[in-house]
Structure 1
Amino acid sequence: MVNRGNADVLIVGAGPAALFAIFQLGIYGFRCHLVDRLDRAGGQCAVLYPDKPIYDVPGFPEISGGELTERLMRQAAPCDPRFTFGRSVVALAATDGGAWRVGLDDGTPIDTGCVILATGLGLFDRPPGASAEELVPGPVAQWPLERNRGGIRVDPSTFQAAHVQTAQQGLFAIGDACDYPGKVKLILSGFHEAALATQEIRRHLTGKRPTVAYSTTSKRVRERLGRG
């Protein structure tokens, strides 16, 4: 089993794909810590177009970015996520025991079993005092990761990302931050990617072959959601 340090899973970014990953991981008992340079969850949905209607989210003929964020936060709440807003992850390093250490821009280190990069389109950052539109390449853009078409290259069966300086597993990318053959940059694609990444994270953290638990039939899942 992997040493999980301070958090089972550290997620860089707090957009829709990251928020759904909280839920997916939480139903299997993993707690997430999310770090985002913005001052709130939701990513582009919350900052760039909170009132703009979105028409391609399954089950919602129309939903605003703000409402989608609110619903994802409500869905994730039983999983007890931790959020650190207004901070950037500036460093990433493999540690002993199969874990990872990330460093924040205020010098805070966080040890974690897995890292998910869900930094959004272009791996952008917003300088202090800048408007939401004044984005620049963030620290993740400088990390030694394999890239293609501006995204982090991943294995589409697991969404693991390749770090060119270490062969250690447990590093993932989902949402607009990742790229693979056939990638479509839609919110619904990020949800799919979060679900598949979750299954590989389960295997990585526990050393066991995962079986899918269904919320409609699993008593344990319903109990974790407070609906047992």
Structure 2
Amino acid sequence: MTARIDTDVAVIGAGPAGLFAVFECGMLKMRCTVIDTLEAIGGQCTALYPEKPIFDIPAHPRIPAGELIAQLQEQARPFTPTYLLGRRVETLTQSPDGSFTLGTSTGDTVTAKAVILAAGAGAFGPNRPPLENLEAFERTGGVRYLVSRREDFRGKHVVIAGGGDSAVDWALSLKQVAAKVTVVHRRPKFRAAPETVAQMEAAAARGEIELAIPYQLHGLKGEDGHLTHVSLATLKGEVREVQADHLLAFFGLSMELGPIAEWGLGLDRSHVTVNPATGETSIPGIHAIGDVATYPGKLKLILQGFSEAAVAAHSIHPRVFPGEALHFEYSTSKGIAAE
């Protein structure tokens, strides 16, 4: 279903910086619509390492990435943002009045007075395995590239393919609820944190997880898009079948600016150059924050993205409310504007 939305600020990217931008804009009474290529909010925190701890978020000595995203979503909730997920921005045009119209890959149209580009290092999409009839199994949820609800896999046979942190983390997590978890990797050495690899290997020794090594994905079996088995093969051509209700393919994310590269923004090696005092790009009204933004002294830290979100929101306010004075107030005295 396509949408036609009129909003104050279009936020491209639902990672930590983008979500905090919703809060900062909301505090200034600006409405946001958030667009992301992934099916769930959180960006890399959700897609790559939801259970990995982050240690440099102020006031949180240790917080799992997934929990950080949940807290950011709750922080933004009073301002009722609209989320358009599983689609990417394909077109952007500017009207004579200065507003922007964004068109998405699913046919949505979003009109906004300003744009915040928070797309990480680009538009993220999963690296998809080259398997026959893959799309049919994707549509039914038989093949997935991220986990949004662990309960979806309770009592199911789950095959996890990959050798990085996401594969190992979710193998350890899902073994607690799934009927069986099989991890497929083409070699014994994993690229994940040594501690979690050791935990997975110990679980395999106890029979809690099956390690299919050295194997790689060979094919999918089922009817009407409903997965029943995953075929695995060795480099020597030996093939075996594993019962599966779901295949989780964790081969990382492909990162590219995509259509954003054609918007005429000042680019520096696939990053967008901004004025650090405002976050504004070479096009007035379009701001960039987080990993996609670059300027002298830039640090690729989540906490710096948070700061950039606040700077961008305050810079955008005069564009959304021309002629209205903005008096800076601390949140402790101002409270939540939406309440």
TM-score, normalization by structure 1: 0.88
Residues 172-218 of structure 1, C-alpha deviation per residue, up to 9 Å, x if partnerless?
Answer: 10000100111000000000000000111111211234221222112
By percentage of residues, which structure has more strand? 2
Residue in structure 1 matched with residue 270 of structure 2 by the alignment: 150
Cα distance between partner residues in 2 of 1:8 and 1:78: 16
| Structure 2: gaps spanning 5 or more residues | 130-144, 146-249
Q: Which moved more, 1:143-152 or 1:79-88?
A: 143-152
Residue in structure 2 matched with residue 41 of structure 1 by the alignment: 41
Shift of 1:31: 1.1
**Is structure 2 residue 254 aligned with structure 1 residue 139?**
no
Question: Residue 327 of structure 2: which of 211, 215, 223 is its match?
Answer: 211
Q: Which moved more, 1:129-138 or 1:95-104?
A: 129-138
Q: Is the 2:50–2:65 Cα contact (8 Å) retained in structure 1? A: yes
Q: Is the 2:88–2:123 Cα contact (8 Å) retained in structure 1? A: no
Cα distance between partner residues in 2 of 1:199 and 1:136: 29
RMSD: 1.7
* Higher-Rg member (1/2): 2
Cα distance between partner residues in 2 of 1:134 and 1:72: 22
Shift of 1:143: 2.9
Instruction: Give SS of 1:216's match.
Output: helix
Cα distance between partner residues in 2 of 1:125 and 1:61: 28
Residue in structure 1 matched with residue 108 of structure 2 by the alignment: 108
Instruction: Give SS of 1:7's match.
Output: strand
Q: Which moved more, 1:15-24 or 1:130-139?
A: 130-139
Where in structure 2 are the equivalents of 1:118-137 lying within 5 Å? 118-121=118-121, 123-126=122-125, 129=128, 131=145, 133-137=252-256
Instruction: Give SS of 1:204's match.
Output: helix
Residue in structure 2 matched with residue 166 of structure 1 by the alignment: none
**Is structure 2 residue 18 aligned with structure 1 residue 18?**
yes
Q: Which moved more, 1:123-132 or 1:35-44?
A: 123-132
Q: Is the 1:11–1:117 Cα contact (8 Å) retained in structure 2? A: yes
Question: Residue 295 of structure 2: which of 162, 177, 180 is its match?
Answer: 180
Residues 34-86 of structure 1, C-alpha deviation per residue, up to 9 Å, x if partnerless?
Answer: 01010111100111110111111111111111000000001110011100110
**Is structure 2 residue 282 aligned with structure 1 residue 162?**
yes
Residues 107-127 of structure 1, C-alpha deviation per residue, up to 9 Å, x if partnerless?
Answer: 222111111110002x13316
Residue in structure 1 matched with residue 286 of structure 2 by the alignment: 171
Residue in structure 2 matched with residue 195 of structure 1 by the alignment: 310
Residue in structure 1 matched with residue 117 of structure 2 by the alignment: 117
Counterpart amino acid of residue 14 in structure 1: A
Over the matched positions of the two proteins, sequence identity in percent amounts to 39
Residue in structure 1 matched with residue 67 of structure 2 by the alignment: 67
TM-score, normalization by structure 2: 0.60
Shift of 1:145: 1.0
| Structure 1: gaps spanning 5 or more residues | 164-168
Shift of 1:95: 0.8
Q: Is the 1:11–1:32 Cα contact (8 Å) retained in structure 2? A: yes
Cα distance between partner residues in 1 of 2:68 and 2:338: 19
**Which 4+ residue blocks in structure 1 deviate beyond 3 angstroms?**
127-132
Instruction: Give SS of 2:333's match.
Output: coil
Q: Which moved more, 1:103-112 or 1:62-71?
A: 103-112
Instruction: Give SS of 1:172's match.
Output: strand
**How many residues of Structure 1 are paired with residues of Structure 2 in the alignment?**
213
Cα distance between partner residues in 2 of 1:8 and 1:44: 26
Counterpart amino acid of residue 330 in structure 2: Y
Instruction: Give SS of 2:313's match.
Output: helix
Counterpart amino acid of residue 152 in structure 1: V
Q: Is the 1:149–1:179 Cα contact (8 Å) retained in structure 2? A: no
